[in-house]
């Protein structure tokens, strides 16, 4: 029977999520890839054990993570039953709804019907009575924002989620949503958005500044740009890489000569800092203390421990930051 490491809280850094009472580990584990039915269950379990043994208390899911949709939640639910159930109160488990999940007009976007039904399904797959954070996964251009935020508030009042978050929102919509949730006395504490050295959309659309102004947390996904910000592709496309095996979220067209030149230059700077390219990219996301946690993905336990090397190494000189900006333009 699995027993968590006694040293699990000795090295991890925990950051307060906005102005809330909740703290998240600086590094969280995302189950977007490699936890569906195409993955190896024993490997999934080993990754979750490794994460928790090193102080990663936050495991992030969504209703449609797989493949097939729902399978990541189902597999993680089995890991909870097999290994992590005795530690439930030490864990932060989040899930989301907002993307296409089932057939018909009620399996997508942001209606009250969809969000409440989806969370009920997620809880059954996970084998839980509640999740710690429930997110609306993307903005809905047609459903009134009042309806979506009202559904989130109802979910918290029902006891099926402790906190709520918003994912893939922009700054102006975030401010409107936050005002509604505040009026509803709903504990909205966090935003989840894509953010990396190569993708600074949350700076351009005002989300990062709005989150800080509203005292909400930020958790960044795809901090390694789906694997581009690693040494995997510096000398070609490995046969076991995401580009070679999948191609849905990252494909060969992403590796233009210009992009490769940028990656080599970033890799040289990382080496001067005593880091890998991936380590520097993760450190960069946490550089200014405005991001609460960075979501890593992994295909094997060793990648998790490698990524944890960033703890205590998130400071950059002004010259280093300027060099990174110059490289990526």
Answer yes or no: are the C-beta atoms of 87 and 59 closer than 8 Å: no
- On the question of a cis peptide bond just before residue 181, with omega within 30 degrees of 0, the verdict is no
Q: Is 318 exposed, middle or buried (0-12, 13-18, 19+ CB in 10 A)?
A: exposed
Question: Over the range 228-258, which residues count as b (16 or more CB within 10 Å of their CB) and which as e?
Answer: bbbebbeeeeeeeebbeeeeeebeeebbeee
Which two tokens mark 7?
């040293």
Answer yes or no: are the C-beta atoms of 92 and 142 closer than 8 Å: no
Query: How many residues in the chain?
Result: 329
C-alpha distances out from residue 95 to 31, 36, 221, Å = 10, 15, 14
Q: Does domain 14-229+284-314 have CATH number 3.90.1150.10?
A: no
Which two tokens mark 23?
């703290």
**Whole-number pLDDT of residue 236:** 64
Beta strands 188-194; 27-30: pairing state: unpaired
Beta strands 23-25; 217-221: pairing state: unpaired
**Whole-number pLDDT of residue 257:** 87
Q: Residue 311 half-sphere exposure, CB side, CA atoms within 13 Å? A: 20
**What is the four-CA torsion angle of 291, 70, 31, 237, rounded to 10 degrees?**
-110
Which two tokens mark 296?
């890593």
Full pLDDT tens readout for the chain, 329 residues: 899 999 999 999 999 999 999 999 999 999 999 999 999 999 999 999 999 999 999 999 999 999 999 999 999 999 999 999 999 999 999 999 999 999 999 999 999 999 999 999 999 999 999 999 999 999 999 999 999 999 999 999 999 999 999 999 999 999 999 999 999 999 999 999 999 999 999 999 999 999 999 999 999 999 999 899 999 888 866 555 555 455 565 666 767 889 999 999 999 999 999 999 999 999 999 999 999 999 999 999 999 999 999 999 999 999 999 999 999 98
Q: What is the pTM of this model?
A: 0.94
Look at residues 86, 76, 127 and name the one whose alpha carbon lies nearest to residue 4: 86
How far is 33 from 29, CA to CA, in rounded Å?
Answer: 11
Angle at 150 between CA 158 and CA 168, to 5 degrees: 105
Angle at 92 between CA 71 and CA 147, to 5 degrees: 75
Angle at 308 between CA 123 and CA 322, to 5 degrees: 115
Answer yes or no: are the C-beta atoms of 174 and 202 closer than 8 Å: no
**Whole-number pLDDT of residue 244:** 46
Beta strands 92-97; 58-60: pairing state: parallel
């Amino acid at each position: 029977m699995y027993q968590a490491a006694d040293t699990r809280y000795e090295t991890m850094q925990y950051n307060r999520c906005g102005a809330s009472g909740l703290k998240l580990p600086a590094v969280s584990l995302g189950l977007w890839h490699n936890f569906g039915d195409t993955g190896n269950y024993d490997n999934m379990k080993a990754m979750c054990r490794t994460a928790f043994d090193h102080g990663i208390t936050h495991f992030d899911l969504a209703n449609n993570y797989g493949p097939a949709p729902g399978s990541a939640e189902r597999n993680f639910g089995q890991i909870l039953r097999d290994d992590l159930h005795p530690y439930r109160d030490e864990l932060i488990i989040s899930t989301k709804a907002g993307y296409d999940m089932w057939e018909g007009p009620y399996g997508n976007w942001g209606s009250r019907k969809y969000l409440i039904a989806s969370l009920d399904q997620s809880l059954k797959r996970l084998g839980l009575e509640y999740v710690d954070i429930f997110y609306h996964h993307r903005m809905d251009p047609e459903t009134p924002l009042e309806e979506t935020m009202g559904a989130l508030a109802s979910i918290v009042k029902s006891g099926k989620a402790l906190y709520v978050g918003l994912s893939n929102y922009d700054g102006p919509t975030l401010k409107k949503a936050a005002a509604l949730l505040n009026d509803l006395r709903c504990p909205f504490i966090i935003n989840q958005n894509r953010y990396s050295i190569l993708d600074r959309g949350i700076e351009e659309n005002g989300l990062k500044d709005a989150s800080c102004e509203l005292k909400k947390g930020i958790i960044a996904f795809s901090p390694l740009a789906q694997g581009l910000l690693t040494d995997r592709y510096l000398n070609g496309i490995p046969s076991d890489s995401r580009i070679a095996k999948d191609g849905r979220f990252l494909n060969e067209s992403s590796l233009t000569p210009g992009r490769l030149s940028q990656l080599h230059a970033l890799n040289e700077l990382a080496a001067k800092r005593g880091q890998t390219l991936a380590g520097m990219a993760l450190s960069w996301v946490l550089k200014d203390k405005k991001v609460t946690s960075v979501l890593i993905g992994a295909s094997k336990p060793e990648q998790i421990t490698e990524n944890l090397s960033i703890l205590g190494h998130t400071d950059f000189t002004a010259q280093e930051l300027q060099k990174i900006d110059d490289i990526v333009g």
